[in-house]
Every structure is written in structure tokens, then in C-alpha cells.
Structure 1
Amino acid sequence: MPSHVPTQGSSPSPQDRTDHSPDPLGRERSHLASSRTALRAMRHDVESLDITDVTGNWVNAKILAAEMDDRIKALSDLADTPLFFGRLDYLHAPGTDLAEGAAGEQFYIGRRHVHDADGDPMVIDWRAPVSQPFYQASRRTPMDVRLRRRFGYTGGDLTAYEDEYLTDPPEGADPADGSGTSSKLLQSEIERPRVGPMRDIVATIQPEQDEIVRADITGSVCVQGAPGTGKTAVGLHRVAYLLYAHRERLARTGTLVIGPNRSFLQYIEQVLPALGELQVKQATVDDLVARVEVRGADSAAAATVKGDARMAEVLRRAVRSGIRMPAEPVMVVRGSRRWRVPAYELEEIVKELAARDIRYGAAHDALPQRIAHVVLVQMERSGEAPDDRVQDAVARTPAVKAAVKACWPAVDPAKTVLRLLSDPEFLAEAADGVLDAEEQKTILWAKPARGLASAKWSAADAVLIDEAYDLVQRTSSLGHVVLDEAQDLSPMQYRAVGRRCSTGSATVLGDLAQGTTPWATGSWAEALGHLGKPDARVEELTAGFRVPREVIAYATRLLPQIAPGLAPATSVREAAGTMSVRAVAADALDAAVLAACDAALRHEGSVGLIAADPRIPVLATALDAAGIRYVSPGEETSAEARVTLVPASLAKGLEYDYVVLDEPSGIVAAEPDVRTGLRRLYVCLTRAVSGLTVLHTAPLPEALTSA
């Protein structure tokens, strides 16, 4: 095991005597204090810059001022967050083939770069190439590292360190195996209780996670991750890494993190700012397609059909349904002369544009120019010398405009979708051979809207409208998109996300076993095809670092029924955690839930009370009556309110130190079918980090009791 130097006042380990300082812990604390002073100086230097006369106009001045403000925020010193968490001691000097470090030189690895007044680094950003061995080096592959040191903190105070010798240690030292997970400090940091939003995992990134984080920006990555494997954190750290390695490129093209709901986004929103990245936008899929107000809801059957990839072809036909072949020639009058474009020539132009399958709006804009070009050719043959201005003038003539309107009329995407969902004949024509009669009937509105203002759009309708808009005009693409909880997206939602990264790359995160929508993804190959990233590399994370062994083993009993093709998740945690499954009388369930919450509150950390959505009002009343303060998902917990009352439908992606799970059968019964219900239960069971208490009155699902 790696040696551990405990808090101040303990006797030193053999490794202490290998340090050049008589007080190794004091020396590290001194470096921490100096680094914090240097960071404050860096911030002060930015704050004191005078940019009054730097820019030439007020627009650039405003942009520069905003960038300066962001830089100042990025240089903030968070008192309770370690400025550095590790140290690397390299073996060789620069110029060798093995290392970037000088002989005996030490690199402190932290959340951001810090340099002294001379510009010499005091802390190296964890994303820098020289920092990578902190995550990847081992006794088997030392990467020219002599020693890796990890630091332990209490609040913002450095209280411990731990050494791993990756090459032959000094005499008397106890060599570490360098595997990382055997580190006591690492285990302590992974298992540390938390109150509030998700925090970064930069100090605990494992080799397999680091490989995903640092994957090249030109390729897309899909991470199939079991509960507790850190897939969400990996995705967020990947964004931070890409912004470090490709800042100029992504500053132009942009980045986006897409989560399943607002509660989830509020839970993760502090991770990137803690790493100094302030410009990453976050959104849900509903936010992306919010072109209309959603006021209605679909049945599961209707939402499933609307989310089917076949709807893309139905929409394409609907958008292009107004294209007509010309029946009359176009007569253009210029001065005393008339120029005639025959109908057959117009038809050739229209057919060519239709065959190219370019965006409908682009073809609509191109058609008058193509007609005008035919006129220009006639002018040149007659001895005239027209230029581009003449062509533009011809394209704007009433005759050409009328021909374009007749052959290729403008399309309103929302009105097209409204007509599809309201007009059985129009839908039948567009869906012929694509959707059967029953499917068409399923998605037709029972009460057709009279106009856009009265339409009660559903979330699935909004996705269809977004697809229709893209058929008319290309959607802007970002440089990189992170899509979390991706297993719950419909094919049409995947297409909506894919449009936002059509010229960029994507990091897709999810767990097929946690798919809880009727249209949940069946395979990543299928999902990535809909996303437009069929060549994305699929990585599987099965080693859990947060969920206790007993808890993950209990939840894994459901896998044969909900995702038989997935490898069972494991836990590498040394602490097994606590777990209790208790049957109680029906009239005693509420009291048992309150008692379990009270017991969990005696421990440090957050408490999540998870129940089927219909039970939430009842439990809220019980908590109020008992005087137990609680918050809703997405709201920040505090020392006074450490309990979060979580509807099962919002539990995905969240985690709590202690979970009290109310009536598993109720969670299953609240879903449209048993398989979806068991997947929802699997999600809820795996939200616990330190302890899980399951309370039930009805029999548990057979899969949980048969093992």
C-alpha cells in the first residue's frame, strides 16, 4: 500500500526522511501559501490593466471588458478548494527522450496554472501534457516519474500527503504499486461526503477516465457507464480539457453541455467554473428546440411514433409537398425588350434543384437566380453585355417572383407540422409507405388547432418543428457538444442534437440499463447513427468509484431483466457502505421513512429521500409535520436542510451520501410497463454513495428477492 503521512502532529513515515526538508508537510504548506499569494497577484495584475484606449470602438471595448471580467473570475481563489492536489517528481532532464521535467524538478498539479512574478510555474494545470502522468503513470509504466505525491485537505488546509514511488524508492521507503485505487487519500477523496451541487473529480481521475477526457477533438466518443463510474464528471472534464487544448478553435465554434432536465443542470453547474471555465453553455434538449411554446402532452404511444426516425422522411415530404412543375413560361420585360424562358427550361431547373436535395430555403433562394441566369444568356447571345447587377435585377422582377412562388413557394415549418398533425389527408400523403394507418391515427390531434396561436404543442411536436426548420434552413453547428443521459433520447431528439454538432464532435454519455422512456435507446450503434456520428468510439466504464459494493451488487440483480447484454457493474471502493432493506406495515410506512431520514441526518453528508412521483406530496406533508427541512432536486442543500425530496422521475444523474428509498413497487408501478419501471428502480437504487435504506410494504420485485 502507498505510504500515508497523516495530519500535522503525527510521526513521519520513512518517506518523510527522503524529502530534503526537515518538515516535509510544512514545506508543502509553504508552497501552497506562496501559490495562493501568486494567484492573487495574477488576479491583481488583470484587475489593474487599463484598457481605456486599447480598442477602436465601443463594441470591441465592451467585448474586451467582458473577457477581462471572465478572466478575473477564472483567477478567483476558492478558499475551501485545494489549489493543487498532487506533485510529480521526474527522473530526467530536458533534452532526453523520456521526460519533459528536469532532473529533480517537481511539478505541482492543480486546477489551474499559477506562476510567480518571474513567470515560472508554481502550479501546473491538470490538463497540461506534463500533468498526464499524474493520472496515467504506474509501476509498470512509470512514464519517467520517480515519485507521485497526493495531498489531503481539510477544507482548504493541507493536512496530509501520500507518496507512490513509481521507480525504485530510496532505502527504507515502502514502494507503492502505483495503481491509484490503492491510495488511501484517493479513496478518502472519492468517498468524502458532500452537501450541495456536484463537484469536480480532477484529483481522482482514473487512467481509463483520463483517456476519455483527453481523446482527440476530431473524433466523437460514446461512454457507456454504469452507476457511480463518473461518466458525467468525465464528460464535464473533457469539455474543460478541450477548451484548454483547443481554446482558440472552440472560442469561435462554441461548446454546449446538454442534460436531461433543469434539476440535473443545476446539480452540475459548478463543476466547470471550479476548473476556471466560465463560457460553457448548458441546456436541455427541450431548450434546443424551443421554437414554440409547449402547452400540451402526448400519450406514450403518440410520443413514440413522433420520436421515430421515420418522421424525418414524413417531414421532408411535407416540406417539399408544395413544389410544382411550371405550366407557363416566364416573360421578363426590360426596357423595350422581352425575354422568354420556356416552361420546359423552367422545369429542368426545378427538377435539378429538387434532385440535389439541398435545403428547401436555399433552393428557394437559388431558383430566381437560376431563372435570371437563363435570361442573361439570352441577352449575351443577342449582343448585350449584362453584368451581375442585371442578373440581380432580373431575379427581382415580378414575373420571376411569381414563377418562384408558383413552383417553389416559401414554407413556414411550424405551419407545416401543424397541418400534418391536423389534416388526415395531408398526413396520409406525406406518410404513405412510411407510417401505417394506425400510426397516423395515433399522432393526429383529436381537436385540430385553428392556427399557430391556439396550438397546444407537445415536447415531441417541438422536436418535429425543429427538424422542419432544418429542412428549410441549416442549423448552426457547434465545435463540441456533451450529451448526458443520452439513453433516454428518441431518434428524432438525437437528430436535433446531431444538427448542433454536424461539423464538430460530440461526447455521448449514458447507461442503457437506465433508459426509462418508452423510446429509450436499444443500442449505442443505433443511437450514434441517428446522431450523425456512426464512427464514434464506444468506451465502457464498469468500475464504480462512488456507489458502495453492497448497493451496486443489490441493484445489479435487475440487470438480466433490464439490460441483459451489459457487463455487471463493480465497485472498487474499500468501504462497503451500509445497506438495509426492511418490510413495514402499510400504516407505518410514513413513520418508518421519517425515522430513516432522521437516522441518516446523524451522519455527515447529503440525504436523498426518493419515491414514486405520486408519493411526493404525501411525504412532503409528513416531513413538514416532523419539522425536517428539505429541498427539491436542483435546489442547493445546506447545513440546515440536508434532505432532498426526489421524485423518482428526476433521480437520474443525481447522487446523495445517504438514500432512503420509499416503496420500490410504487416506483415500478408508476411507469407505463414493468421493464421501464424496473429500469427506473435501478436508477433510484444506485443514487447512494454511503448508505441505502429501502422501505417497503408491498412485495419487492422478484429479481431483487430471487438472488
Structure 2
Amino acid sequence: MEDFQSAYQEEKARLDRTLDTIDKELNRLRGIPMYTGHDYTEQVLEAGRDTQRRQLAQSGQEPYFGRLDFEEQGGTRTPLYIGKVGVGGDTAQPMVIDWRAPVASLFYSFTGGDSASYEAPEGLIEGLVYLKRNIVIRKQILERVVDTFNSEEEGPAVSDEFLLYRLGENKDNKLRDIVSTIQAEQDQIIRAGRNSALIIQGVAGSGKTTVALHRLAYLLYQYKEQISAEKMIIFAPNRMFINYISEVLPELGVGDIQQNTFSDWASKVLGLDEAPSDGPEALTEWFDHTVKSRLDDSELPGRFKGSLLFRDQLDRFVEQLESACLPEEDFMPWDGAKLPLRTIREWYEQEYKPYPIARRKDRVLARIHRWVEMELKKSPSAAALKERKSKASQREKAYAKKWPDLSPLALYKAFMGVKKMQGLKFEDIVAEIPKSILKMTQANLKKNVIKEEDLPALLYLFTRVDEIDGNLRFDHVVIDEAQDFSPFQIAVLDRFCKGHSFTILGDLSQGIHYYKGIREWAEMQVLFKPDETAYFALTRSYRSTMEIITFANDILRHGVGTDLLAVPVFRSAEPVRIIQAAGAERLSTIRKALDRIQDGPYRTAALLTRNLGDAQQLHAELSGLGYELNLIDGRKSEYEGGISVLPVYLSKGLEFDAVIVTDVDEDHYGERDAKLLYVGSTRALHELWLLAGETLPAYVTANDPEIAVTVWPEK
């Protein structure tokens, strides 16, 4: 106790000095009049001062979260304070070191022993660690001091104590940063080099999304001269998820990073009036009907159109298009003047061959126009010049119309046989497309209906026949819930991304979009050369209690048949509850469970139903009884917290203090739906309740003595 009081007083004095320094520097900067003139040097200086003002204002509330006493070889023991933002001081040693700085990596990578090392620009730095201390400061008040390593004390490090303290906190309606609790395996991913495609398989609750967001902040710090926030993008599963993660990057002092769904982004690039979407009704139909049938992958439009085989077919189409594009005729601007086809072909096939087809078309037409202008100068009279000029203008327009329409939609219609294009052998191109998919796509395209599954092909045609504008290129791409992406989507995005700089993250065990997602990460790894990619597996789950993770692992083991199991953090709480109720008892039992959860200390809770219709009905019934609930139906762009009612497939990526999963029986969660139940179960941080019918799914082993399950109400 005496040691703790001494450490607390030491840190309290250090905090007071730091806050005083921050306050003085912030007042000094605020006292400098803001420059609004046009001198470039002064503008740069003002931008620097503005950044400092914002960083100091941010640091003024919670300046740091950790301390590491480190002695570099040949140096002296120095206390290093780690915070979200670096803060200078009166000496060469900063008062606070930015968590992204090389030396700060010691705070995350050091897990015991006294020696440690880190990579710096000048090479490997080695030394001794004497103390690792976690510090909680909220609104300038020192709340907690925990030593996770102290070389002067006997006994093991207690690195999990502080982590468990933070994990035990309740959730609100936004994802938060984990900068104070980044684990060694997470830090390795965050600090990986930028010119590679990182593929991260992470179990539910392993912090995949948060790690990816911290990685963006690190890349901007480490490569600030080479990349910019505006050229980075996060692809999220839906707009509500974008809102849910929206505060993490600002908390880390990073702004202006693009955040979008693939459908919305692709539609903007293609100039579509509206982004195609499966929509909640379509998703319900898939889950309740299509996915339950034993369809082969080749019969699933999303799987086939997301395959590299489909991309290869489009390549063959573009090859045919290249030779069929040029009108097979001489150009005659007026009678008596002729530009031979062989000359035009030489321009198209030789001089402009390095350019994509649309650029070659533009250059050929521009070259023809320049030739016409030269020929017009040979006109014998003003009258002849006027007449020739008029005819040439008309014939140039007519000749341009003989070239095919090279817009992505027009080309896709030609590829699918909906629109005829001279010189193309349609039957040869689409020979490998399953007839059912071809017929369905043709019917949609005839009505100008574009489905989400068509977007990769449209984007690919756009990149094959035209140049990608520099404003559309990315320095880095993050893809969340990547198990629901197709290989073709990644291949298309790679054409927009510099240096294969990707962070691709997901969980195969949560691949509930069976009709379009991948089965193995190898489907994406083959897109990159071995030295262009790296694979990481995050197996430790920080979200849920041991009881919940053990139960969820059992679903994976018996229902999914996978060995991608989670390793729980030692955080024990309530057992998983199986609520036996059916028919007339269903609603009253839900109410009893919900009342009990509401009486607890929780901020967020969720009622997860099997489909959208059930969610809408349950929301209406409970709202009519006076409960304040938020219905999440796939249309909202904001997660409001509190108690939510939603279908389980819309809960991916979200987490709640307590979760009730309804209708857990063979009819709703059969063998093919085990991944859905796994997703629902792993949304819970502290408590998980399952409302069961008369017969539980066979893979839910409620009687397994190793699973902490209790039947409620208790007898």
C-alpha cells in the first residue's frame, strides 16, 4: 500500500508539471495572431501552429497513458511517457512521446524480462527496461496507476490486470480507441510496412477493426511525406458501421480518411444515379431460402461474378473489343479527300497502342481532326473552304458514332449479349457463364437493373478501357469484414491502389454471406506475389467473457467444423443462459430477461432475431408495451446505443454489453446457420442469453459439463 501511495504521488506531481507545460504552451500559441495572408512561408508556419494548438488541446485532458523506464546501452535510465500525441518540453527529451514513435513500440512489445529492443531509423536500439506502468487520466484527473512490470520487485508481471480493467468497462454507441491497451501481436500488425497486402484472420472480439484504424494512424505518422489521409479509404460493411467507428480516428488525431461501402464508392466512380444494394428484404430472402438450399458455387451469382474466372472472361472480351473497335473503312471528310484505313489503323494499333482503348479512340479522333484541318488549308477558295468545313464536321461526328460506346455499362451489356457489337463473338465469350446466371443477368440489364454483384465487372471494364484519374487512386486501402468480399473485388481495388498497400481483415467463421463471400484466405492471397503479402492470425478475443467465448467456440467446433477458435482473456462473469420458452411463453420470457438486463449496470443491449420480419414484429410488440427500443433494419446510418432490436446478420461488427438471441432452435438455426448463431453469440461483452424453442440445434451442447450454461429461470 505504501509503495502504491508513493507511486501515485510521484505520478500526480508529474501530471501537474505536464499539464502546466501544456497550458503555458497552448496559451502562447493562442496568443499568436492567426495568419490569413497569402505568403506561402507564413501559411506553412500557421498550419504548423494550428496543428500544435489542436494537439495540445487534445493532450490537455489526457496527456499520456503509460510510462516505460528504459536505459539504452551506454545511456542512463530515462522515464518515457507515452500518449496519443507527442508533447515537447524544455529539454531534448519530450514530455510525452507519440505512441506511434519507434521508441514507443517498447511499451507494447515488452512483456517481461529486463532487456528489450526496438527498430529505429538508425538501426536496432537495445537496452534495459526497469519499469512498465499503465496510467489512467480522465479530464486531467489521475485515476489509476498500475505497474505491469517492475524490475525492483519480485514476482511475475501483471500485464493482464490493467487490460481486464479496461475490458470490464461498459460500451456506449461508438467504438473507442485501444491505444492504451494495444497488445504485442496487434502492435506487430499496426507497425507493418505499407507496401504489402496484410491479410488478417481474427476471431470475433480480437480487435481487428480497431487495429486496422490504428494502423492507418501509424502509417500517416511513419510515412507522412509519402502518403496522405485523403488518399486512404476504409471499406465498411454498411453505413451504420461507418458511423459506429467514426470517432476512433479523430481520437487518434487523424482526420480526412475516406470511409465508404464498396457499393457506394463504386457507384460514384461509375457515375450511377443510385448505389445498388441487396437491401434488408433481399438479405432475409437469401438467408431464409436461397442459402439453405444446397446450391453449387457455380449457381450462386455473387460467387461466380466475384471469381477470377469471371475476370478472365472479361479480359478475353476486352481483347476482342480491341480489334473490333476500329471502324473498317477509310475516312472521307468530303468528296475527293481520303484518309486511308491503313493509316488510321497504324495510329490505333501502333502509335497509340500503349494507351487503353478509350484513350486510343480519343487520340485517333483528335489525329483525324488535325489531318482534316491540314487538308482544309489546301482549299482553292473561301467558298470551297466553307463547304468542306461543314461537310467535314458532319462526317467527323458520323465517323465517331461508328466507334462502339465504351462506357462500362454499354460494354457489360455487350459482354452479356444484351447489346450487339460488331466483331464480337458473343457465344465464345460467355461460354463458361452458367446459363441460369446469364439469363438472370440479361433480364436485369434489359431493364437497366444493376445488382451489387455486377459492380466489380463494371469497375474492371472501366479500368481496362480507360485511364484511372489520379484523384481516384489510393495510398492505402482497408477492407473490413473482408470474408464477405470476393477475390474479383480485391483485384479491382488493387488497380486503384498504389503498391498493393492493403489491410484486409475478417473472420472466416463469420462468413455468413455464403452466396458471395470467400471460403479460404488463399482465394485472396493468390492475387499478390509472395513478397507482396503477409498473413496474420489474431486468436485472442478481448470482447467477451470466458463463459461466452467458451460457448461460442463450441458452436464453431460442433456446428461449423473449424479449428479457428478464440482464446479468451481471463475475464469471468455470468454463465451463458438458455431461456426455454416457446409459443405463448416467448414474449413474456423475453420481457423478463430484458427487465433483468435493464436493471443491471449496462449501457447497451441487443435483441437479435433470425430475420428482419421477426425484428420488426418484436420491436412493435415491445414498443407497444412501453419499452424504448431502437430498430436496426439496414436503412439507418447511425447506431444510437441503448437497447436495439435487429436481425442477427446486421449485428456483425457491433458489440453490446448484453445480448438476447431469440428463437434458437432447429428451424431458425439449423446446421447451415451455425455461423449466424456464432456471430450473434459473440456480440455480447458481459452477458449472453439464448431464447430456445423446444428443440435446440444439435450443435448447441447445453449439457456439456465444460460449457458454463445455466437454464433460466433457475429452479
The TM-score by the shorter chain falls in which range?
0.7 to 0.9
Does the C-alpha gap of structure 1 residues 200 and 309 become closer, same or farther in structure 2, counting only changes over 3 Å?
same
Alignment of 1:251-266 (within 5 A): 251=228, 254-266=231-243
Aligned counterpart in structure 1 of residue 179 of structure 2, from 181, 190, 202: 202
Alignment of 1:220-619 (within 5 A): 220-251=197-228, 254-290=231-267, 291-292=271-272, 293-294=274-275, 301-316=300-315, 321=321, 323-324=324-325, 327-330=328-331, 342-352=340-350, 358-368=355-365, 405=400, 408-418=403-413, 423=418, 428-429=426-427, 431-445=429-443, 448-449=446-447, 455-475=448-468, 476-517=472-513, 518-530=515-527, 535-560=532-557, 564-605=561-602, 606-612=604-610, 613-619=612-618
The one-letter code matched in structure 2 to 1:611 is: T
Indicate yes or no: 2:19 matched with 1:50: no
Whether the 8 Å contact between 2:666 and 2:695 is mirrored in structure 1 is no
- In structure 1, the partner of 2:686 is 690
- In structure 2, the partner of 1:106 is 79
- Greater shift after overlay, 606-615 or 573-582? 573-582
CA distance in 1, matches of 2:93, 2:184: 28
- In structure 1, the partner of 2:295 is none
- In structure 2, the partner of 1:6 is none
- In structure 2, the partner of 1:77 is 58
Number of aligned residue pairs: give it. Answer: 641
- Greater shift after overlay, 491-500 or 435-444? 491-500
Whether the 8 Å contact between 2:619 and 2:645 is mirrored in structure 1 is yes
CA distance in 2, matches of 1:664, 1:162: 42
- Greater shift after overlay, 419-428 or 234-243? 419-428
Whether the 8 Å contact between 1:489 and 1:521 is mirrored in structure 2 is yes
**Offset from partner CA, 1:533-559 (integer Å, 9 cap, x none):** 983101111111222222122122232
CA distance in 2, matches of 1:188, 1:221: 30
Indicate yes or no: 2:133 matched with 1:149: yes
Does the C-alpha gap of structure 1 residues 122 and 63 become closer, same or farther in structure 2, counting only changes over 3 Å?
closer
CA distance in 1, matches of 2:26, 2:57: 7
Indicate yes or no: 2:160 matched with 1:163: no
Whether the 8 Å contact between 2:229 and 2:256 is mirrored in structure 1 is no
Does the C-alpha gap of structure 1 residues 560 and 579 become closer, same or farther in structure 2, counting only changes over 3 Å?
closer
Indicate yes or no: 2:97 matched with 1:124: yes
Residue 695 of structure 1 aligns to a residue whose secondary structure is strand
CA distance in 2, matches of 1:436, 1:311: 11
Residue 644 of structure 2 aligns to a residue whose secondary structure is strand
**Offset from partner CA, 1:408-431 (integer Å, 9 cap, x none):** 545122333355568287794474
How far apart are 1:233 and its partner, in Å?
Answer: 1.0
CA distance in 1, matches of 2:545, 2:667: 22
**Offset from partner CA, 1:306-326 (integer Å, 9 cap, x none):** 434444345455666483455
- In structure 2, the partner of 1:654 is 654
Unaligned runs of 5+ in 1: 1-10, 17-21, 97-101, 379-393, 450-454
**Offset from partner CA, 1:93-117 (integer Å, 9 cap, x none):** 7xx3xxxxx5232111111112346
**Offset from partner CA, 1:555-601 (integer Å, 9 cap, x none):** 22232466545432110223254311121132121222222122122
How far apart are 1:148 and its partner, in Å?
Answer: 0.6
- In structure 2, the partner of 1:620 is 619
CA distance in 2, matches of 1:629, 1:531: 49
How far apart are 1:265 and its partner, in Å?
Answer: 1.1
Residue 109 of structure 1 aligns to a residue whose secondary structure is strand
**Offset from partner CA, 1:319-347 (integer Å, 9 cap, x none):** 664834554345689xxxx9965434544
The one-letter code matched in structure 2 to 1:416 is: L
Whether the 8 Å contact between 1:548 and 1:690 is mirrored in structure 2 is yes
Identity of aligned residues (%): 25
- In structure 1, the partner of 2:120 is none
The one-letter code matched in structure 2 to 1:597 is: L
CA distance in 2, matches of 1:599, 1:698: 23
How far apart are 1:437 and its partner, in Å?
Answer: 2.8
CA distance in 1, matches of 2:561, 2:693: 28
The one-letter code matched in structure 1 to 2:69 is: D
- Greater shift after overlay, 462-471 or 124-133? 462-471
Does the C-alpha gap of structure 1 residues 636 and 50 become closer, same or farther in structure 2, counting only changes over 3 Å?
same
CA distance in 2, matches of 1:161, 1:31: 13
How far apart are 1:687 and its partner, in Å?
Answer: 0.8
Unaligned runs of 5+ in 2: 117-127, 291-299, 376-388, 705-715
Aligned counterpart in structure 1 of residue 67 of structure 2, from 84, 87, 104: 87
CA distance in 2, matches of 1:529, 1:41: 55
Whether the 8 Å contact between 2:66 and 2:83 is mirrored in structure 1 is yes
CA distance in 2, matches of 1:272, 1:558: 34
CA distance in 1, matches of 2:321, 2:420: 13
The one-letter code matched in structure 2 to 1:280 is: I
**Offset from partner CA, 1:68-108 (integer Å, 9 cap, x none):** 767654543388x7431110111247xx3xxxxx5232111
- Greater shift after overlay, 652-661 or 521-530? 521-530
Whether the 8 Å contact between 2:167 and 2:542 is mirrored in structure 1 is yes
Does the C-alpha gap of structure 1 residues 64 and 477 become closer, same or farther in structure 2, counting only changes over 3 Å?
farther
**TM-score, normalised on structure 1?**
0.80
Indicate yes or no: 2:626 matched with 1:645: no
**Offset from partner CA, 1:659-687 (integer Å, 9 cap, x none):** 11112348946xxx953x22122111111
The one-letter code matched in structure 2 to 1:204 is: T
Aligned counterpart in structure 2 of residue 139 of structure 1, from 104, 107, 112: 112
CA distance in 1, matches of 2:667, 2:180: 36
How far apart are 1:153 and its partner, in Å?
Answer: 5.1
Indicate yes or no: 2:8 matched with 1:25: yes
Residue 192 of structure 2 aligns to a residue whose secondary structure is coil
How far apart are 1:374 and its partner, in Å?
Answer: 11
CA distance in 2, matches of 1:516, 1:566: 17
- In structure 1, the partner of 2:121 is none
Whether the 8 Å contact between 1:25 and 1:161 is mirrored in structure 2 is yes
CA distance in 2, matches of 1:64, 1:604: 49
Does the C-alpha gap of structure 1 residues 420 and 372 become closer, same or farther in structure 2, counting only changes over 3 Å?
closer
The one-letter code matched in structure 2 to 1:457 is: I
The one-letter code matched in structure 1 to 2:38 is: T
Does the C-alpha gap of structure 1 residues 355 and 279 become closer, same or farther in structure 2, counting only changes over 3 Å?
closer
How far apart are 1:31 and its partner, in Å?
Answer: 2.4
CA distance in 1, matches of 2:370, 2:420: 38
Whether the 8 Å contact between 1:552 and 1:571 is mirrored in structure 2 is yes
CA distance in 2, matches of 1:585, 1:568: 31
- Greater shift after overlay, 467-476 or 210-219? 467-476
- Greater shift after overlay, 62-71 or 475-484? 62-71
Whether the 8 Å contact between 1:648 and 1:667 is mirrored in structure 2 is no
The one-letter code matched in structure 2 to 1:497 is: L
